Chain A
Amino acid sequence: MAESSRADNRVLLLKLGVIACVMFAFAWALIPLYRVICEVTGINQLVKADAPAPAVAASDLAVTAAPVRLRFDATVQAGLPWQVRPLVGQMAAPRGEFVRVDYEITNASNREVTGQAVPRYLPAAAGNYVKKLECFCFRQQVFKPGETRRFPVVFVIDRAMPADIGEITLAYSVFDVPGQGAS
């Protein structure tokens, strides 16, 4: 009836609408928020929390002398123009020595693209013990249309790696860097 209470209703409507919009934004904010919370609290460091790297015990020395089986892999997201392959699929490598493996990357599109490779280790715990000296994943790489290039990856497997890791898979995913390269 009174205009004033009609205005009250409208004000409340607006406030509630704002809450709804803020909550919609909050859903998107959760993505960085979770990441920050996990980093700050270290709550998601399952591997580190559960299995701190043990010092090499004398009894392990015989085992650690055994070579580690290495597998190389690469994946490309559907829809991206890359072709990536390691020249050797797998090899055995002793700990504490330089290992070199070559990767061949082709830009299969007819435009210039910039790529960034992201390495991944299986088991994830092995990541701490693979010390890379040379890798195409260290920086972004620009490719001309149809260009193919070979990259060496050089690394050492740390002797401190626990003996129960007998096999490591090194897998790369290659992505487009948005906004880089002509399109």
Chain B
Amino acid sequence: MAISTTAGHAPHEHGKPTGLWRWLAATNHKDIGSMYLWFSFTMFLSGGVMALCIRAELFQPGLQFFQPELFNQLTTLHGLVMVFGAIMPAFTGLANWLLPLMIGAPDMAFARMNNWSFWLLPPAALLLLISFFVPGGAAAAGWTLYAPLATQMGMGMDLTIFAIHILGVSSIMGSINIIVTILNLRAPGMTMMKMPMFAWASLITAYLIIAVMPVLAGVVTMVLTDRHFGTHFFNAAGGGDPVMYQHIFWFFGHPEVYIMALPAFGIVSHIIPTFSRKPLFGYTSMVYATSSIAVLSFMVWAHHMFTTGMPATAQLFFMYATMLIAVPTGVKVFNWIGTMWQGAMSFETPMLFAVGFVCLFTVGGLSGVTLSVAAVDIQLQDTYYVVAHFHYVLVAGALFSLFAAIYYWFPKMTGKMYSEPLGKFHFWWSMIWFNVTFFPMHFLGLAGMPRRIPDYALQFTDFNRIASIGAFCFGLGQLIFLYNMLRSIRHGQAAPHKPWEGAETLEWQIPTPAPYHSFVEAPHVEAGDNGVIHSMTGGAHH
């Protein structure tokens, strides 16, 4: 088992570095993981502020706070920041923190590259955020950056394109690290088909990232050359085709949906067995379902383009292929329910978020199946129904699973317990206001309210008011989480070695908090499905 460091000696030979240098030159997977998580939480807050600006403007019809140009910039940057700044780095951060612990590796495979992939993120985020202040403002073409809008805007678009390049390089390097770690650094006895679901999900996600982030980088590069170097990839008058942009973008864009969803599936597949005190139901089918979702995700991209004038044959193909994804996804949902069935369940905060995830993700999945029907989609395309749909899968899906993960592994990461009453309050508060915010958007969309508009017809006022109130309460509630974390890191009760009775994976076999250099010697494990450890020998820490 090998890890590379540039320092010429293995990391366990030196102690814990201190000061700023510890973070700038970090090669320890736990330090890098923590930085990823804090970074993504910061981006979550900035993207959240943009969301609240949007909801403030939509509180009533007419233009109150923002001109349409700025409003469009806010919706665009809200999407980009949340997708590339908050959710993706948060999952990479969790993978960094947890994978080596879960599979018995001393660290990530390429420690120095790990440092680079993190430190590329802050400059990219800065590029995105300062683009608000350049002439012409930030990119305002929507997070999808559709041509020909994207080929016409000011320099904010160039900054966005560079930011996407940097984020792409970062996530590709992170993914390579994850794949090599999982494939090459597993402890003896931790075979692929025993590996915990989060490791499986991270592995498949990493492959998806390597396959599609370069495609996104390619298509935004074409936009860049269209803008500055006289090419006409997407310019109809120059012999190009703006619809071509959509085809290439969504070849990236749909797998991207699963890049944000599969790790969430992995997390929930740890938490539900733990708090049901039962092994995961149908582990093998979970692995195959995850893999087949990944494969299918490459064949459905044009379901985002039903209104572009596709021939009926193509519409039917993409409609049925999309519906097909509901099958492996359904397998997963039923497996989670099967895990809970007759389990000795208890509802600590991680479990609450995990169960909330299963309920609300299913709602988002169902509205997704509705949207996959080409005939229906033509009515619902670009309405608030779509906004409701993807916030159910991304907020109640990805974000809730992230909260669940942080609460679940917080004791192992910090050695402290978070405040359970505050955690439960955070869950119920988020659960209620999330639905108040996003459920009315279904109705708005069905009634025909288009997305990405700063002003709307009077009949949409009531539901927009409800959504705006919900959004502000939901946003405020996230400060409870921040307070809980900060307070618990300092003053929380010392966490026991294994705070959750039913937690059986490898990371719970090591001391709490996780030693700075864990598994410097690989342990020998005897593992069951989903990484459940039956026995472990060896495995030294420093």
Contact = CB atoms under 8 A, between A and B. Distances in A.
B215 A9 contact: no
B191 interface: no
Interface string A71-100: 000010101000000000000000000000
B2 interface: yes
A38 to B, nearest CB: 10
A175 B238 contact: yes
A1 interface: yes
Interface in B75-115: 109-110
Nearest to A173: B237
Contacts of A28: 218, 222
A19 B211 contact: yes
A27 B219 contact: yes
A16 interface: yes
Question: For the complex, would chain B's binding face be called helix, strand, loop or mixed by DSSP majority?
Answer: helix
B172 interface: yes
A50 to B, nearest CB: 9
B523 to A, nearest CB: 14
Interface string A102-123: 0000000000000000100000
Contact of B218 (A24, A75, A175): A24
B239 A20 contact: no
A43 interface: yes
Contact of A30 (B184, B248, B311): B248
A24 B176 contact: no
A15 B424 CA distance: 45
Contacts of B314: 43
A183 to B, nearest CB: 13
Given A9-B184, A16-B179, A49 B311 contact: yes
Contacts of B222: 27-28, 31
Interface residues of A, number: 33
B183 interface: yes
A32 to B, nearest CB: 11
Contact of B251 (A6, A30, A77, A173): A30
A164 interface: no
Interface in B197-247: 210-219, 222, 230, 233, 235, 237-239, 244, 247
Contact of B244 (A19, A25, A34): A34
A118 B236 CA distance: 12
A79 B176 CA distance: 43
B359 interface: no
A77 B239 CA distance: 11
Contact of A6 (B2, B213, B235, B313): B2
A6 B212 contact: no
Nearest to B230: A79
B247 A30 contact: yes
B391 to A, nearest CB: 28
Contact of A23 (B4, B214, B311): B214
A27 B251 CA distance: 9
B180 A16 contact: yes
A9 B4 contact: yes
Contacts of B237: 75, 77, 173
A20 B172 contact: yes
B311 A118 contact: no
Interface in A152-183: 173, 175
A20 B2 CA distance: 24
B212 A23 contact: yes
B106 to A, nearest CB: 9
Given A16-B176, A27-B219, A5 B184 contact: yes
B538 interface: no
B4 A27 contact: no
A13 B211 contact: no
Contacts of A79: 230
Contact of A43 (B183, B211, B247, B311): B311
Contacts of B311: 43-44, 46, 49
Contacts of B305: none
Contacts of B183: 12
B211 A23 contact: yes
A1 B247 CA distance: 46
A6 B215 contact: no
A3 B230 CA distance: 50
B71 to A, nearest CB: 27
A17 interface: yes
Interface string A32-57: 00100000000110100100000000
B8 interface: no
Contacts of B15: none
Contact of B2 (A9, A21, A175): A9
A2 B2 contact: yes
B110 A77 contact: no
A44 B310 CA distance: 7
A72 B214 CA distance: 43
Interface in B277-327: 309, 311, 313-314
B100 to A, nearest CB: 14
B1 interface: yes
19 contacts: A2-B1, A2-B2, A8-B184, A9-B2, A9-B4, A9-B109, A12-B179, A16-B179, A23-B210, A24-B218, A27-B215, A27-B216, A27-B217, A28-B218, A30-B215, A77-B237, A79-B230, A173-B238, A175-B239
Given A26-B218, A175-B239, 12 more contacts: A2-B2, A6-B4, A9-B110, A9-B184, A13-B176, A20-B176, A23-B215, A27-B214, A27-B248, A31-B222, A43-B314, A79-B230
